[in-house]
Amino acid sequence: MPADPSVLTARALLLDMDGTLVNSDAVVERCWRRWAVRHGLDPEEALKVVHGRQGYATMAVLLPDRPMEQNHADNRAMLAEETADLDGVVPIGGAPAFMDAVAALPHALVTSADEALARARMGAAGLRIPDVRVTAERVGASKPDPEGFLKGAAELGFDPAECVVFEDSEAGIQAGRAAGMRVLGIGPRAGAFAPDVHVPDLTHVRVEADGGGAIRLHITGA
């Protein structure tokens, strides 16, 4: 019989942050609109590619002829700006209960934010930050490269095929697929990029552990 599409089974969960656990769109859009205007770019076009990537990678897409050192310098300034601006940062629907439900289960945060920004946004949203974190400083390549997810799986001690990725962006969903993992898409952006399952938010995910190491994700309203 075919697998039940309303249940995903895994042994470890790899969680993106922005758009997946934390709604930081207001800050992201404020900061990137300003950056785009400073560089003579259309802010609306810029916002189409900012989600899911590290800032320097976004800048390389938008300004392909610019030296990468300049992108890294701008990225450092952008991270500081975003870390200082927490106005409007709130949890995604269902995120507090979800983080409580996975507290004792193998899970990791895999985010394009650096450590300082991850702590600031998770704190502003009132969410527990996972003990295992793969932040921007810990990878050599931004999503859609799978490095972050592969590193998260390795640190938790599981094969990629045993992991489910939670993601909201095109770059993140591509990274999860490239890592050989199943992807649960969260929120309005994710549905356009063919995740294995898509839900509006985390209120549609119920977590069940069977005591033998299996984690069952019961999906409603997908």
Query: Which residues, at least 6 apart from 167, have a Cβ–Cβ distance to it below 8 Å?
Result: 16, 20, 52, 173, 175, 176, 183, 184, 185, 186, 190, 195
The catalytic position among 16, 114, 168, 201 is: 16
One-letter amino acid identity for 92?
I
Q: How far, in Å, CA of 121 to CA of 135, rounded?
A: 13
18 part of the active site: yes
- Beta-carbon-side half-sphere exposure of residue 132 (alpha carbons within 13 Å): 22
Using an 8 Å Cβ cutoff, are 105 and 210 in contact?
Answer: no
DSSP state letter for 101: H
Residue of 18, 25, 114, 145 marked catalytic: 18
Active-site residue set: 16, 18
